[in-house]
Structure 1
């Protein structure tokens, strides 16, 4: 993690890393490398956001290029036109494809011939700008990969979902933890009934980096995340609890029914929550909890989930993502490792692996798996083939609506002293 932070904070190292990951790679068992058949070319990526000082923008660019299936071709990398163009060399974007605004990029790219214009737009900006950029990209006919949460509020999310529905574009949402091989292993094991009926989900996302008022020092990441005009109605719960909630939904497929939530701001003077816990009633009678914190000393990026079924239980933790524990009473505990060639590995988990067992895969690879699944759909769209846009392996626009509804209902429940509120939504997918 220390090396990752060094790369993401250094423009020079960023440029080296981006070029290195975008060159031809050979992972042996990963059979979709670099061809995008039958297109037989790389997909062209246009980035919005990701300028100097950005964390998540650099992650998106590396993840998209990791399998040599895409190349960063154009960008509007900052809301400041000068900074946007100054950031372009860090991504090896040519001067004529470095734009001062996303409007300029979409307009100019739309006028280029089909064999030159970008294929998709990656949105890596603060929450409050996602909607306008995504809607403009969709209406211009470009595929979209958007960072989460998808929009500023639920109304924007529903408007965007309708626009996507009325178009033929591919829309992916970067709930990147869904890309880990063992998360997909758990999803398939649960779907096959291996754990029996699911009765309980405990999902946590615990951090400690906002224990103090870091936003007062003008730290970029802290500043917008704690500002309700940029982050929305929730702080910690909007930023990271959405990941924890989505992880439970993705793994189990259980449909939510009601939610009761307590949000708390422990750091005096902070405008948004920095801790919270929610209880969820699922439609099958199961109970779930989501706890999120950004003020727990010494905790870094601790995403964890435990799922209890009638036949067995499992446990997975993002900081040790290549292992998953499966337990059943009266039997020895099983430790599943990320192993693409093991007989117990499910097809989805094996497809998400790039390296043989024993070679750790992590954050970038999981992020890249979301992109890879979306790329498959983009290629199918380009070839005029059939496209599934609802029940996708990658998180899509409907997951984005669910996430915004989750945030809205958590905030409202907390205002009403943890009152039980509906969590059903017509766009909730299994």
Structure 2
């Protein structure tokens, strides 16, 4: 993947959205303020996003952005919030190797006066910006962060994707269930990779297996480009299965090296950070049959055809839907929390996020029209997430989640196989 091309796109995105905000003091005579169901008043809601338009998670950006835009469109078509349209300002997060991009994006959104930020996708990127965002009293909701050390990180930090304890458990059991007793792990030295590796290793070990390569101290640098020795060492350790715990930049050269060294690619496992429809053409494509019967895991319930169609209406160029539902849910929860609390401030949204997710019970509801009407009628709600996650727990993680299991065909494209549901442990 060409980083210079990505950088150019980042500059384009940075200036792509300009918003004019109406100044409101919150008084009943202010323009743009409308009395809410609980008797309060609310100013227009401004949401920001810090999502990957460039970098090693670039493939996640389009469906996540589409998910946010779909939620905003749905809200505004139903009359908006507090008598005004919800507005969204998109920025680029890039990745941890280009940390200055996310830092600048976060500062741009803080200065713009957003009440909530959807993002980042990368756990490492979030760890670079979360203190600035939450310290400013802005709610941050990631649709894709999975690092376990982000559980309960801050009162203003939430996520609609489960921590690696869930995906790692499913992945480890998937390999063991497929007959692997000696597992190799190709993992980069990033909080995402090591967090997921630790969970997988624990599951494999508890099942009586052994991680023969990729334990602590055997990670590779995220900037590594030559994988000949790394792959040779992993194969020499005698694994029955190999999991690749990286982002998309490192994955194509790893796959090519594994195939060149004679590894049985059907015994290869991918994860959300690199599960991609690689195909047979272009810079990331492989010869037909390379990945046939390889598998991968991805947090989230498989989106319905109806929801996929709605995302495609927003962005007809989508080639995948990873974390699109989670981004939609994050945006919906932010808006519903504002409505329940009576204003669009970060403090009010934070105080009501758990409640609208169903943490305290309430009437099940889906979508903006149904859920907002219940709130306006004075009822408590339990928002039913498109992604299938359960209500927020005390660590602001989803209390439960589905992990999808996918399988590659001869065209190096993956298709949905089945889902496994898991509970999210609380510390």
Give the TM-score normalised by the residue count of structure 2. 0.39
TM-score by length of 1: 0.38
